[in-house]
Amino acid sequence: MFFGKRAKEEEIETVLVETEIYSCMDESCIGWMRKDFAADDLLCPMCGTEMLLEIRELPKI
């Protein structure tokens, strides 16, 4: 059996897209979520603080 590295042509390219997200307003918290998956109450799932709408470049899903 032979295991080799992939050729550069076969590597999967990551496509980044400008995505609307909600990020936690608390400076000590790093919580954020995509707008498509946000809950109706718009509270941070990690600390419970309100979240603010932002735009980030994220991989396309």
One pLDDT digit (tens) per residue for the chain, 61 residues: 666 666 666 667 789 999 999 999 999 999 999 999 988 889 998 999 999 999 999 999 8
pTM of the model: 0.72
The whole-number pLDDT of residue 7 equals 62
Helix, strand, coil abundance in the chain, percent, nearest 5: 10, 40, 50
Question: Which pLDDT belongs to residue 28?
Answer: 95
Contact present, 53 and 18 (Cβ < 8 Å): no
Q: Cβ(49)–Cβ(25) under 8 Å?
A: yes
